[in-house]
Amino acid sequence: MTAYSASRRLLRRAAIGAIVVTLFLAAALRCDVRPEIFRQGLGQGPNFIASFFPPLWSAAGEMVTPVLITIVLATSATLLGLFLSFPVGLAAASNVAPAWLRQPVRVLLGVERAVPETILLLFFVVAFGLGPLAGVFSLALGSIGMLGKLLGDAMEEVDPAVVDSVRAAGATFWQTIRYGLLPQVLPALAAHTLFRFDVNVRNSVVLGAIGAGGIGEEIAHSMGMIQYERATIAVLGSLLVIYTAEAVSGRLRRRLLGAEA
Amino acid sequence: MLFGGLLTLAALLLYLQVDPLSVIGQLPHLLNLGRDMFPPRLAILWEREGLVNSVIETLAMAFAGTVLGLCLAFPAGLLGAANTTPHPALRAFTRAALSLERSITSFFFLLVFLIAFGLGPFAGTMTLAVGTLGLFGKLFAESIERVEHAPVEAIAALGATSWQQICFGALPQAAPALIANALFAFDVNLRLSISLGIFGAGGLGAEFLLAKQTLRYRDVFALALITLVLITTVERVSDQLRKHI
Amino acid sequence: MLDVHALVKTVAGGRRVLDGVTFSVKPGEFIGILGSSGAGKSLTLRAITGLTEIDSGEVRFTGADQSICRVAHAKGAELRAARRQIGVIFQGLHLVKRLSVLENVMIGRLGYISPLRSWLYGFTDAEARAAVGALEQVELASFADRLTATLSGGEMQRVAIARAIFQQPRLYLADEPIASLDPRNAEGILKLLQPLAKDTPVIGTFHQPDFTRRFCTRVIGIRAGRVVYDGSPQLSHHDLNEIYGIREVQTA
Ligand SMILES: Nc1ncnc2c1ncn2[C@@H]1O[C@H](COP(=O)(O)OP(=O)(O)OP(=O)(O)O)[C@@H](O)[C@H]1O
Ligand SMILES: [Mg+2]
């Protein structure tokens, strides 16, 4: 006979449901998710939301510089990360770097990707003090984690025949990389860099709030000073930046990948 | 091209009033910091009361936020997918709302929730839920739209209701992608919950901030290691689960 | 049983892809629809189940309770009630590949189970046993627990027939049930459909006049959205020319 059994299916669904619900309830309890807090919060809701309106339009002018700083922060971090990911990527590729170099680099890349940018920022703030430099470094480091790994992986997958043919023409090591490896990984690298730019813009807003400056700082500051109408304007500013970055990066990426396919 | 890029970078840094060369001046300071952080004081794990509790708090926040957010993201995905939405206008509306939500930075939501619900992990949980809705509502909708149409139409031709067409035609096809996304959501939220802690949601992030502010750098290093182990473990486990399914 | 009257469908560009298709079906018939590619065979079948909207015309389907459903104009519960009684065997690609063979067969009776049940756990053990019975009829009982994606094209086609059988419809529609099958498999499928037609009429679309000659009780020829032949499956050269327009090709 067949293995189909309605009761077993029902039981399995109930069991999975029960496990998830129990874990969820335990987690929710741990996080103080209590109906009365919720009710209380919702009770204030309408008033609270109303306090964000009308937006303080007159503050819009003050947001231009912070918005610029956020964009510049994300752009320079992406560029720096991109540059640094070349040597790192080479050092992480098995067909380029020796094992003694590759393995520690790979481990470091994994570490970089695992640690959230905000934590990296805390380190850099200690090292360089508050300000955009700490922000640039933590975002750049995060970018290396992604782009360096990508480059390393891409280098390992590069068609050896192409590399050989370039090498056979008498090219030096660097020429081989430049003319044999790079052209093959460039489209993927460009696409990932654009994606990383999008991520960096989002993160630079967050980092701004904990010391890197820019529009994030304005949001945090306005909220802290209970100037909610001003916060609305700052949020609109960040919205504009993030929206534009996503749209631009998405469109360029689609064009790149579309041209590839 | 390389040269142009470097020049742009330099110009941008100049705009930020950052002197790249000042980094060199900072080097001794950096070395000092390195010495201060070393060796990591892993003993905080058992010596510092409440640290284990903070780790659990971070995990709980991530889990509760993920489940709550996915419960919202799933219906949003159904509404936002062309082949399951009750009306095209509803799809457009859902998509626009999700996209707007994704663009509002999560720490703003956190600040709002902190004011509404008070300091602590509850606000963090709500923030994660909102973020999960924005990102995974979109990803769910995309996975559901990638489903083959023919099997669903065949089920419609049997006289099944639209809901049955979704349950038996669309969802079984989309299930692997949906489950992979759900696991990914927990990954994302775990990182985020640590970040949110810095803003007042509690958990490991709060420990980081406290250790840094009280200049306990060896503790900061130890905390970073703990974070690393936590995140990589969760990543491994979800990879394993994904392969299993 | 089924009356199809003057179906008309115009698509973008003003081309009439159905141009007055009319025929009716009586119990015990096995109708083969012939016609060249793009003639409108699939569209006719889709119009009968209301999957494709038509511009004008009428489809009258007599249900089990002798009530008549005007399928082309029906909506909601009425349309579902009619569809429950029409078993459709599509061209290959319509099984849910990620479900087991048995589940795909059981889906045939989805129209009869309550929304709550379909949400909670699906089908009962009794239904599973009945579905195995349907699989036995197509000689695939041993495949019941296989993932459908792992089946060959011919096997999937037989699962599709098992699903339709399990549905216990009052009319079968089969859109190219033997397309992309080797001759032996094709013959096997037709030998499955032929006995079904004794109790429940079958309408199938085909590209092989030799098969319809051997198995069908009646042939309808469609050309450019019009019925150009309706009668015995023993087609003459002249009839074939009418349907496929070979003469024009020759004179051209
Ligand atoms: N939604 C649509 N929009 C535009 N044209 C359509 C549409 N559906 C069908 N057609 C056209 O209607 C005509 C008839 O299609 P139909 O699928 O019925 O052909 P068929 O006789 O089944 O052919 P085949 O033997 O190749 O399956 C074709 O020319 C097709 O391109
Ligand atoms: Mg067809």
A8-19: pLDDT as tens digits: 888 888 898 999
**Is C225's C-beta closer than 6 angstroms to any atom of ligand 1?**
no
Confidence label for B214 from pLDDT (cuts 50, 70 and 90) = confident
The pLDDT, as a whole number, for residue C87 is 92
Question: Based on the domain organization, do B172 and B240 belong to the same domain?
Answer: yes
Confidence band (pLDDT; 50, 70, 90) for C217?
very high
**Which of C34, C43, C45 has the most ligand 1 atoms within 8 A of CB, as the residue to mutate?**
C43
pLDDT classification of C174: cutoffs 50, 70, 90: very high
Is there a single domain that holds both residue B150 and residue B207? yes
Average pLDDT over residues C166-171: 92
User: Are B60 and A27 an interchain contact pair (Cβ–Cβ within 8 Å)?
Assistant: yes
pLDDT at position C88 over 50: yes
- Which residue is it, tokens 């709302």? B97
Q: Does A72 touch chain B (CB under 8 A)?
A: yes
For B143-180, the pLDDT digits (tens) are 999 999 999 999 999 999 888 999 899 999 999 899 99
C248: pLDDT strictly greater than 70: no
- The per-residue pLDDT for C246 is 63
**Candidates C7, C8, C17: which one to mutate for ligand 1, based on the most atoms within 8 Å of Cβ?**
C17
pLDDT value at A49 more than 80: no
Q: What is the pLDDT of residue A261?
A: 41
Mutate one of A4, A7, A11 to test the C interface: name it (highest C CB count within 10 A): A4
pLDDT, one tens digit per residue, over C120-137 is: 777 888 888 889 999 998
Contact between B65 and B189 (Cβ < 8 Å):
yes
Domain match, B16 and B67 both: no
Give the range of the structural domain holding residue B22, as residue numbers without chain letter: 2-36
Task: Give the pLDDT band (50/70/90) at residue C46.
Answer: very high
**Same-domain check for residues B74 and B6:** no
Q: Are residues B32 and B48 in the same domain?
A: no
pLDDT for the residue C251: 42
**Residue in chain C lying closest to B173 (CA):** C98
- Any ligand 1 atom below 6 A from CB of C37: yes
One domain, residues B57 and B32: no
Question: What is the pLDDT averaged over residues B209-226?
Answer: 84
Minimal-distance CA residue to ligand 1 atom 12: C17
Span C161-166, average pLDDT: 92
Q: pTM (2 decimals)? A: 0.84
Residues 6+ apart with CB under 8 A from B171: B178
Mean pLDDT of chain A: 82
Chain B residues inside the 8 Å CB shell of A116: 191-192, 194-195, 227
- Please give the tally of structural domains in chain B: 2
For position A43, what pLDDT does the model report?
Answer: 73
Asked whether residue B238 falls in the same domain as residue B153, the answer is yes
Using one digit for the tens of pLDDT, what is the confidence trace for A117-168? 888 888 788 777 777 888 888 889 889 988 888 888 887 877 777 777 777 7
For chain C, the average pLDDT equals 87
Q: For chain B, what percent of residues have pLDDT higher than 70? A: 99
Same-domain status, B233 and B142:
yes
pLDDT at C204: 93
Terminal C-alpha separation, chain C: 42
Q: Which of B134, B245, B112, B117 is nearest to B188 (CA)?
A: B134
| Confidence at residue C249, expressed as pLDDT on a 0 to 100 scale | 46
Q: What is the pLDDT of residue C38?
A: 87
pLDDT in tens, B85-96: 989 999 999 999
In a mutational test of the pocket of ligand 1, which residue from C21, C33, C42 has the highest number of ligand atoms less than 8 Å from its CB?
Answer: C42
pLDDT at residue A259 above 60? no
Q: Measured from the CB, is residue C51 less than 6 Å from ligand 1?
A: no
Of A28-37, A69-78, B104-113, which one has max mean pLDDT? A69-78
pLDDT, residue A21, reads 92
Distance CA A260, CA C124 (A): 50
| Superfamily, domain A60-260 | MetI-like (1.10.3720.10)
Core vs surface per residue B24-60: b (16+ CB within 10 A) or e: eeeeeeeeebeeebeebbeebeeebeebeebbebbbb
- Which of A119, A199, A217, A227 to mutate to test binding with chain B, by most B CBs within 10 Å of its CB? A119
Residue of B nearest to A76 (CA): B9
What pLDDT score does B95 carry?
92
pLDDT of amino acid C126: 84
pLDDT on residue B63: 93
Residue B14 dihedral angles phi and psi, to the nearest 5°:
-60, -40
CB contact under 8 A, C110 and B153: no
User: Beta strand C202-205 with C86-89: parallel, antiparallel or unpaired?
Assistant: unpaired
pLDDT at C240 over 70: yes
- Given a cut of 50, whether residue A77 has pLDDT beyond it is yes
Q: In B, which residues are within 8 Å of C119 by CB distance?
A: 163, 167
- B148/B236 same-domain check: yes
Per-residue H/E/C for chain C: CEEEEEEEEEECCCEEEEEEEEEEECCCCEEEEECCCCCCHHHHHHHHCCCCCCCEEEEEEECCCCCEEEHHHCCHHHHHHHHHCEEEECCCCCCCCCCEHHHHHHHHHHHHCCHHHHHHCCCCHHHHHHHHHHHHHCCCHHHCCCEHHHCCHHHHHHHHHHHHHHHCCCEEEEECCCCCCCHHHHHHHHHHHHHHHHHCCEEEECCCHHHHHHHCCEEEEEECCEEEEEECCCCCHHHHHHHHCHHHHHHC
Spatial separation of the C-alpha atoms in residues A252 and A248, rounded to whole Å: 6
CB A92 within 8 A of CB A109: yes
Mean pLDDT of the region C93-118: 86
Q: What's the rounded mean pLDDT across residues A174-198?
A: 81
Instruction: Give the pLDDT band of residue B242 (cuts 50, 70, 90).
Output: confident
B178 and B131 housed in the same domain: yes
B19 and B138 belong to one structural domain: no
ipTM of the prediction: 0.86
Has residue A258 got a pLDDT over 80?
A: no
- Joined together, the tokens standing for residue B98 give 């999700």
* Mean pLDDT value of segment A176-198: 82
Q: What is the mean pLDDT of residues B95-118?
A: 85
Nearest-Cα distance to chain A for B228, in Å, is 6
